Structure 1
Amino acid sequence: MGKGTMHYINNIKSFLAILVIIFHTNSAYGGEGGWYYIESSNNFISTSILTLINAIFQSFFMGLFFFIAAYFSPRSYDNKGFYQFLKDRVPKLLIPAMFYFLLLNPLCINLVAKKNYFNSLGFYNMWFIIALLYFTLAYAIIRKVFTLKVRKYEFPSSKNTFIFIIFMGLLNFITRLFFPTNQLYIHDFSLGYFPQYIILFLLGIIAYRNNWLNKIDNKMVTLYYKVSLISILTMPLVFFIVSTYSSNLEGFYGGFTLESLYYSFWEPFTYVGIILKVLYYFQHRLNYNNSFLQLTSRSSYSIYIIQAPIIVSLQLLLKNLDVDILLKVLLVVLITFIVSLFFSIFLLKIPKLNKII
């Protein structure tokens, strides 16, 4: 299956694109994450639910994006070589990122409040694509410069997986002493999360070379998925304890704090089991295709690119709608998905764009 059609991977891409819409909409209505226009709410329970959902999504979905992107890089490079590999990959990453930088980011900002065009330039949501561009360039250059032997690695045991979790927790904590997760740096990178992205990109390459996706053991999936659920359940309790002595979440973002230490380890304890579960479940239950799944998977990249101004426009349109904040989130998510899917269908009919997105 490593070299054949893997419908479940395309279905995971569609799933992740939907999670991006949910994450950004949650952020727009009070969940932690940052957004162009935040509609505040006094409903503590609703905003806490949105924050918890965002924390869970943040723990795994972008890392899984990087893993999947990396998984297909070795095969593509093997078939095309250095120059053709970059010729195919770079425009698909750079052109959408620049389109967002020059047009969609200023549009989103100016929908909320008028701002000088040059001051509204930015990658914002496209940070992922720019990071993936850098990772791709680094991979291609290393392959070009060095003659790398393909080493064989057994699929990690339960013990080695636990060691990996501890290692990632420590790496997160150390990184966030210098780069708190609530601060953006060059290209709107939140560098506090980058240890996960870099490691999962590397693991995607290793997984392809060793056919790991076909070696995922159900017993280990079950074990670490239970660990993920237990980890998730600890967060409301920790939030409650912290709320007794602090009115904000600043300590979780980084620095030498118990909150940062907890969150640094909470992430890998949460995302390892979820990623294993998603990969295993989609492979064994959703490894098929139909017209709708094919359409959504083909549109997932363009949905990722264009969803931001749709969310912001809907926020402004519905801001006077007096309903529970969770219902408003659901409404915006559904409409955004439908509208962005239709826009994507239209864009994919344009021959030159079709080759890029």
Structure 2
Amino acid sequence: METMENANERAKARAKNAGSRQPHIDDVRSLVIFLVVLIHASVTYSGLGGWYIVENKPDSIDMATKALCGFFNSFNQAWFMGIMFFFGGYFAFEALSRKGPGSFLRDRLLRLGIPLAAYMLAFQPLIVYYVAYPQELRPMGSLFSLYFGRYLATGMFLDGSGPLWFAEALLAFCAILALAARQIPRLGKPASGGAKVPSTAKLLSVALFTAAFAFALRLFWPIGTDWMNLQFCFFASYIVLFVLGVLGARGGWFLELTSGARSRWLIAVFAIGVPAWACIMLFGGILTVSLDSMNGGLTWQSAAYALWESFTAIGMCVGLTAAFANRAGAKRRATLAEIDIPSPGALSRFLSRNSFSVYVFHPAVLIAITKLARGWALPTLAKALIVGLAAYAITIALAELVVRRVPGVRKYF
């Protein structure tokens, strides 16, 4: 049982870190944004997934390329947006406990709602009309006529969130959190005495629950379906990890994810998870039948895939957070109050301050480069990698040199 002295130290540590940036979390988020761009490039050239434009169909690429792109896409899909909700839950509770439900929700409406509205009402139609499908859409009418006559009038804009579906979902989660804290005030305050980092057994239980949740959701929303650009088939891990982040902040254990024991979850994910993925694909019939049985329904393939996906999500979230915390030099001495979070380096700060801009604006850049590269005679994997890296580099340069210099824009992007 935790002593009163330890509980007091936890409270001091929580107050010390409240509202402060955590360099290791910024670094993980920068990595995730980089992976987002590469995955969209992979989808563009493999056809395995949905994107604005797709250059190849899955049946038109060789089996080795399909397997590598398939693993890259599905492995990262299992965790990379989930960890963003994990961090989102942590920072949401920290803000809620400081500001109260009303101010917290107003702040989130501005921080998330303005970029979301800007993308749906401006960026999406501009990208689709001028970058993705200019030859197809211009004969149908001007941007003005299509925008007001179809995009707004028919409600198509509700499906135009693009990558900002994340902001939309996070805003909904924050609204529910604020409502819960208003109805039950103690939920918006740190837990008395704090709590310990969940044990391996508890985290495995969370993974099992997440798998069951995902399996159930996919009975109604199989993988590959969406509603207003929201893929509910993946929301099991998003919801669970957001709640886990909230609990980590409320219990005061989130910043304790720094031990070597936690980072060993990464080893487990790769040592167990990668072979498990291959077995599910091979024995699930990937070489002989379609993937429909894995996408949802009362099949063992759907259950196995949900279990693998949930184990990967929990393992990567815990393991990667711990590994990056160790890498950043977060040291745990006698008490949590003595954790030393060092200042980030210049590269880390550069990537971090531009990461959200890259997330928002990379679609236009990636699509433009994809069209310019149509004449390049390169293997599919090489082309996807080169185009993805180029899109990331150009977008982050534009973010630093242009977006951050527009008055009022840098606050939200």
Letter in 2 for 1:198: I
Q: Deviations over 1:146-170 (max 9, x none)?
A: 2225444332112222222221111
**Using the alignment, how far apart are the partners of 2:320 and 2:220 within structure 1?**
32
* Other-structure match for 1:330: 385
Q: Deviations over 1:122-181 (max 9, x none)?
A: 113211110011111111222223222544433211222222222111111111111112
Q: Deviations over 1:195-245 (max 9, x none)?
A: 111111111111112232343342354256324431222223332331343
Residues 295-351 of structure 1 show CA distances to partners (whole Å, capped at 9, x for unaligned) of 210111111100111111111110121101111111112111111112211211223
Whether 1:147 aligns to 2:185 is yes
**Aligned residue number for residue 278 of structure 1:** 320
Q: Residues 1-357 of structure 1 correspond to what in structure 2 (within 5 A)?
A: 2=14, 3=17, 4-30=20-46, 32-40=48-56, 41-110=60-129, 111-113=131-133, 114-115=136-137, 116-117=146-147, 118-119=150-151, 121=157, 122-148=160-186, 150-151=190-191, 152-185=194-227, 187-216=228-257, 217-223=259-265, 225-241=267-283, 242-246=285-289, 248-287=290-329, 288-345=343-400, 346-357=402-413
User: Is the Cα–Cα contact under 8 Å of residues 81 and 238 in structure 2 kept in the other structure?
Assistant: yes
TM-score calculated relative to the size of structure 1 = 0.93
Contact 2:38 2:389 in 1 (8 A): no
User: Does the aligned pair in 1 maintain the 2:365–2:391 contact within 8 Å?
Assistant: yes
Within 1, Cα distance between the matches of 2:96 and 2:64?
49
Separation in structure 2 between the aligned mates of residue 220 and residue 234 of structure 1, nearest angstrom: 21
Q: 1:238 to 1:145 in 2, by over 3 A?
A: closer
CA distance in 1, matches of 2:127, 2:181: 39
Counterpart Cα distance in 2 of 1:33 and 1:51:
9
1:40-94 deviation per Cα after TM superposition (whole angstroms, max 9, x unaligned):
1422211221111011110101110011111112222232233332332212211
- 1:27/1:199 CA distance change after superposition, 3 Å: same
CA 1:314–1:227: 2 relative to 1, 3 Å: closer
Q: Does 253-262 or 72-81 show the bigger shift?
A: 72-81
Other structure's SS at 1:29 match: helix
Is the 2:215–2:302 Cα contact (8 Å) retained in structure 1?
A: yes
Which moved further from structure 2: 129-138 or 346-355?
346-355
Q: Is the 8 A contact 1:228 1:273 kept in 2?
A: no
Percentage of pairs with the same residue: 25
* Structure 1 portions without partners, runs of 5+: none
CA contact (8 A) 1:232 1:270 kept: no
Structure 2 unpaired stretches of 5+:
1-12, 138-145, 330-342
- CA change 1:74–1:235 in 2 (3 A) is closer
- Cα distance in 2 for partners of 1:339, 1:299 equals 12
CA RMSD in angstroms, aligned pairs only:
2.0
Structure 1 residues 82 and 270, CA gap change in structure 2 (3 angstroms): closer
Aligned length: 355
Structure 1 residues 53 and 244: CA distance shift in structure 2, 3 A:
closer
The residue type equivalent to 2:36 in the other structure is V
Deviations 1:248-297 (A, max 9, x none): 22222111122211111110122222222210111011355122211210
CA contact (8 A) 1:184 1:191 kept: yes
Task: Determine helix, strand or coil for the equivalent of 1:72.
Answer: helix
8 A Cα contact 2:265 2:316, kept in partner: no
Task: Give the secondary-structure state (helix, strand or coil) at the position aligned to 1:89.
Answer: helix
Contact 2:30–2:355 (8 Å) recurs in 1: yes
Q: Is the alpha carbon distance of 1:147 and 1:301 closer, same or farther for their aligned partners in structure 2, counting shifts above 3 Å?
A: same
